[in-house]
Amino acid sequence: MATARSVVRCLVVGGTLSATLSLGAVLLAQSPTFGLGHPPSPELLSAIDIEVTPDGKGLATGSGTAAAGKDVYTRRCETCHGPTGTEGPQDVLVGGHGSLGTDRPLKTVGSYWPYATTLWDYIRRAMPFDHPGTLTADEIYGVTAYVLFMNGIVGEQDALNQATLPQGKMPNRNGFVADPRPDVPSKKRNEEFGNLEVRIRGLHSKLHIFQIPN
């Protein structure tokens, strides 16, 4: 069985391919051949090769403000995340600032997520939960801005786009630490893994590779 570390190593070997594709390659490499299926076409690969990195690579052209995104939020998100992003019934998106070190940590976009670009990426790939993939790039920029605005991270009229979104400073950007296990010296880890952190969360198979700042 692949350990988390061997998966990470294989992902890095996968080079510029997306995390999803590399993971697929790992599984293929480990499976016996049954003579089924066929290699995916470049079109199929490019349709799922959509991750956005913290430096903004992978973001689509477009722009949006919180003022514009409020309408998208009300129509497409509010039923599940609540009028102010705190009521649910699904994940709380707003608040929890300063709670991570307490015995009642509240992990939200505002309190926990280290990169603003991840929000754009995640909304594009997974939200609205019942109709993923239906928002335009401008709508995604707008609703991303609105979620960040509700968290007090951007202003109502700040225009988010390919250039400005990666500059967004998330409150918990320094809250992630390198692997502290003593058998994983950080120099060796950096050489092997190129400073990557992999997170796989939730039913919605959220797989993200983050660059950990040195």
Binding status of residue 170 toward ligand HEC by CB under 6 A: no
Binding status of residue 199 toward ligand HEC by CB under 6 A: no
CB of 70 to ligand HEC, least distance (A): 11
Binding status of residue 129 toward ligand HEC by CB under 6 A: yes
Do strands 196-201 and 160-161 pair parallel, antiparallel, or not at all (unpaired)? unpaired
Q: Within 83-122, which residues bind ligand HEC (CB under 6 A)?
A: 90-91, 93, 107-109, 119, 122
Binding status of residue 76 toward ligand HEC by CB under 6 A: yes
Beta bridge partners of 161: 63
Binding status of residue 203 toward ligand HEC by CB under 6 A: yes
CB of 85 to ligand HEC, least distance (A): 9
The stretch among 1-9, 48-56, 125-133, 177-185 that binds ligand HEC (CB under 6 A) is 125-133
Give the CB-side neighbour count of residue 198, counting CA atoms within 13 A.
20
Binding status of residue 127 toward ligand HEC by CB under 6 A: yes
Please tell me the distance from the alpha carbon of residue 103 to that of residue 214, in angstroms, as a whole number: 29
CB of 142 to ligand HEC, least distance (A): 10
Contacts of 45 (CB under 8 A, 6+ apart): 21
Cis, bond preceding 89 (omega within 30 deg of 0):
yes
Assign 206 to helix, strand or coil: strand
Joined tokens for residue 24? 């697929």
Please name the residue that has the structure tokens 């307490």. Answer: 102
Q: Report the residue count for the chain.
A: 214
142 backbone dihedrals φ, ψ, rounded to 5°: -65, -45
CB of 13 to ligand HEC, least distance (A): 28
Of the pair 129, 155, the CB lying nearest ligand HEC is at: 129
Q: Which residues bind ligand HEC (CB under 6 A)?
A: 76-77, 79-81, 90-91, 93, 107-109, 119, 122-123, 127-130, 143, 147, 202-204
